[in-house]
Amino acid sequence: MRGSDRIEQIYRDVVRRNPGETEFHQAVKEVLETLGPVLDKHPEYAEHKIIERLCEPERQLIFRVPWQDDRGEVQIARGFRVGFNSALGPYKGGLRFHPSVYLGIVKFLGFEQTFKNALTGLPIGGAKGGADFDPKGKSDGEIMRFCQSFMTTLYHYLGEYTDVPAGDIGVGTREIGYLFGQYKRITNRYESGVLTGKSPQWGGSLVRREATGYGTVYFVEEMLKARGDGLEGKTCTVSGSGNVALHVIEKLQQLGAKVVACSDSNGVIYDEQGVDLQVLKQLKEVERRRIRHYVEHRGAAQYLENGCIWDIPCQVALPCATQNELDEASARRLVENGCIAVGEGANMPTTPGGVRVFLNAGVAYAPGKAANAGGVATSALEMQQNASRDAWTFEYTERRLREIMQNIHRDCFETAKEFGSPGNYVIGANIVGFRRVAQAMLAFGVI
Ligand code: NDP
């Protein structure tokens, strides 16, 4: 059977075996579509059913998370942890707390994570987890009680050599603190390496907080460099205003670019003179308020309620909020308005139609699994520091991050060329990640 026919059959089976999980189907399809030529070149992967095995998570946990709100009322959320693939190392991937979380989202993220982690070249497998808990508007006490209940079930399945979660949407340093505190209390072990994204005051790595955003910008910088261009003076828009978005904005500004817009799920801030990062950080990180309050500090800026950030002209667009936030129509508008590069800080933010528009228009397009791999890479550096009971300086850690992003870019770039699609980072990233995992799986036999 030809590689592409085999792939089609595998995809049909994935849809049949995982009904209703549309985001998971989408993520699998996007990867599988690029692997036909790899199967033709490596018949051993087909013979050992490597792709079929890769599409089936190694383990999936769904659990009840009961907790009490501030009025004493009992609430029940649903928790998830999917260990997708451990061929290259212990399960590694973030936890997302958001009302939209269900098994299909966790599986899409875990699947993506497997390839992303392989791309880093570091010894980490792929996983993801979370809960359909909405942290918005909750008090510190409610967040703490929720995290403690979540960890009380999950801790059985974690360990620095088994499964090492981190943050994602709705899970930052505060939540990781509560989760780690409960793990330590139940297990009677100060096992730093069991969670990453910890505060540097108690076992976290410097640069981890910044890493996803900084890494995304480094990747975009490399793409532009490969085209004889750079970030200096470029007008950029960045969706979201969470951890990834804030640090994308910070690094873009450090490298001389101008960020004119950012957003949250309610609206868009347009600040033609350039976003004031200090104001934004104060609002989001300290006061935990909505971005609409930004205009109270910057009179010239506009708040566009329910606006679409992709309507704002830019040369570089960085989607850093959530999956499928940038559709085909938005991609067309971006291209018409002169966008030349897109770097995905979020996971799968561009729909398949949007990706096609970018590739056909020759936009330098960096898929999330390559562009935002700096976060998990720095988590792996945090694990290294924990294992050696060491703490590296900011400068050293950032240098390591930058080298990792440059290496990922080079590997994707060269592999895309090898497979006859120069400049196509989708093909490059999928094939590099897949080959690394596949080689390890072959070595381990049928497990
Ligand atoms: P945060 O929770 O810190 O921020 C998320 C941001 O995205 C908020 O501004 C939020 O707005 C917005 N957002 C979330 N859901 C939606 C939605 N449905 N529609 C519109 N906007 C939305 O999360 P992160 O910054 O950590 O994560 C952002 C993205 O980056 C995610 O896709 C995540 O998977 C990815 N990522 C994160 C990594 C990390 O290290 N944190 C690593 C690699 C990827 P609002 O407050 O209104 O909800």
How does the average pLDDT of the chain come out, rounded?
97
What separation, in Å, do the N-terminal and C-terminal C-alpha atoms of the chain show?
Answer: 24
CATH number for 210-371: choose from 3.40.190.10, 3.40.50.300, 3.30.565.10, 3.40.50.720: 3.40.50.720
What whole-number distance in Å separates Cα of residue 317 and Cα of residue 349? Answer: 12
Could you tell me the pLDDT band of residue 205, with boundaries at 50, 70 and 90? Answer: very high
| Amino acid 225: pLDDT | 98
Tokens of 54: 């890769």
Average the pLDDT over 157-176 and give the result: 97
Could you tell me the pLDDT band of residue 1, with boundaries at 50, 70 and 90? Answer: confident
What whole-number distance in Å separates Cα of residue 367 and Cα of residue 346? Answer: 9
Residue 328 CA, ligand 1 centroid: distance in Å: 21
Residue 372 CA, closest ligand 1 atom number: 43
User: Which residue is listed with tokens 């769904």?
Assistant: 62
Average the pLDDT over 143-171 and give the result: 98
Quickly count: other Cβ atoms within 10 Å of residue 295's Cβ. Answer: 16
CB-based burial label for 43 (10 Å; 0-12, 13-18, 19+): exposed
Pocket test for ligand 1, best of 143, 168, 207, 324 (most atoms within 8 A of CB): 168
Contact 266, 338 (CB under 8 A): no
- How big is the chain, counted in residues? 447
How far, in Å, are 93, 117, 147, 392, 427 from residue 176 at the CA level? 13, 20, 8, 20, 34
With a 6 Å cutoff on the Cβ, whether 351 touches ligand 1 is no
Pocket test for ligand 1, best of 265, 376, 401 (most atoms within 8 A of CB): 265
Looking at residue 293, the DSSP 8-state letter turns out to be G
Rounded to two decimals, what is the model's pTM? 0.97
Average the pLDDT over 63-74 and give the result: 98
CB-based burial label for 228 (10 Å; 0-12, 13-18, 19+): exposed
With a 6 Å cutoff on the Cβ, whether 169 touches ligand 1 is yes
Could you tell me the pLDDT band of residue 5, with boundaries at 50, 70 and 90? Answer: confident
What whole-number distance in Å separates Cα of residue 320 and Cα of residue 325? Answer: 9
Asked: is 59-190 a CATH 3.40.50.12280 domain? The reply is: no
Question: Dihedral (C-alpha) 20, 343, 400, 119: value to the nearest 10 degrees?
Answer: 40
What whole-number distance in Å separates Cα of residue 193 and Cα of residue 100? Answer: 29
With a 6 Å cutoff on the Cβ, whether 182 touches ligand 1 is no
| Amino acid 4: pLDDT | 80
Average the pLDDT over 375-403 and give the result: 98
| Amino acid 373: pLDDT | 98
What residues does each domain of the chain span?
3-54, 59-190, 210-371
Q: Which residues pair with 74 in a beta bridge?
A: 68
With a 6 Å cutoff on the Cβ, whether 165 touches ligand 1 is no
DSSP 365-387: EE-HHHHTHHHHHHHHHHHHHHH
Vertex 48 angle, CA 44 and 53, to 5°: 130
> Are 59-190 and 210-371 in the same CATH fold?
yes
Catalytic one of 128, 184, 258, 369: 128
Q: From atom 38 of ligand 1, which residue's Cα is the shortest distance away?
A: 168
Residue 282 CA, ligand 1 centroid: distance in Å: 18
Longest dimension (CA), the chain: 64
Helices marked H in 95-242 — which ranges? 103-120, 140-154, 173-187, 208-226
| Amino acid 2: pLDDT | 77
Contact 89, 123 (CB under 8 A): yes
pLDDT tens, position by position, 305-343: 999 999 999 999 999 999 999 999 999 999 999 999 999
pLDDT tens, position by position, 99-149: 999 999 999 999 999 999 999 999 999 999 999 999 999 999 999 999 999
- In three-state secondary structure terms, 303 is strand
Q: Which helix (H) or strand (E) holds 32?
A: helix 22-32
- In three-state secondary structure terms, 336 is helix
Q: For the chain, what percent of residues have pLDDT higher than 90?
A: 98
Pocket test for ligand 1, best of 111, 164, 169, 306 (most atoms within 8 A of CB): 169
Residue 322 CA, ligand 1 centroid: distance in Å: 5
What whole-number distance in Å separates Cα of residue 246 and Cα of residue 213? Answer: 7
Q: From atom 28 of ligand 1, which residue's Cα is the shortest distance away?
A: 321
With a 6 Å cutoff on the Cβ, whether 196 touches ligand 1 is no
Residue 240 CA, ligand 1 centroid: distance in Å: 6
Pocket test for ligand 1, best of 112, 322, 323, 405 (most atoms within 8 A of CB): 322
Residue 245 CA, ligand 1 centroid: distance in Å: 8
Evaluate if residue 347 carries a pLDDT over 80: yes
With a 6 Å cutoff on the Cβ, whether 374 touches ligand 1 is no
Tokens of 24: 């998971």
Evaluate if residue 196 carries a pLDDT over 90: yes
With a 6 Å cutoff on the Cβ, whether 114 touches ligand 1 is no
Question: Dihedral (C-alpha) 289, 291, 297, 300: value to the nearest 10 degrees?
Answer: -170
Helices marked H in 18-139 — which ranges? 22-32, 36-41, 43-47, 50-54, 103-120
116 is catalytic: no
CB within 8 Å of 397: residues ≥ 6 apart: 205, 206, 207, 378, 381
Q: From atom 44 of ligand 1, which residue's Cα is the shortest distance away?
A: 346
With a 6 Å cutoff on the Cβ, whether 345 touches ligand 1 is yes
Residue 348 CA, closest ligand 1 atom number: 32
Average the pLDDT over 88-109 and give the result: 98
CB-based burial label for 359 (10 Å; 0-12, 13-18, 19+): middle
Evaluate if residue 70 carries a pLDDT over 90: yes
Q: For the chain, what percent of residues have pLDDT higher than 70?
A: 100
Vertex 272 angle, CA 267 and 273, to 5°: 125
Evaluate if residue 3 carries a pLDDT over 80: no
With a 6 Å cutoff on the Cβ, whether 344 touches ligand 1 is no
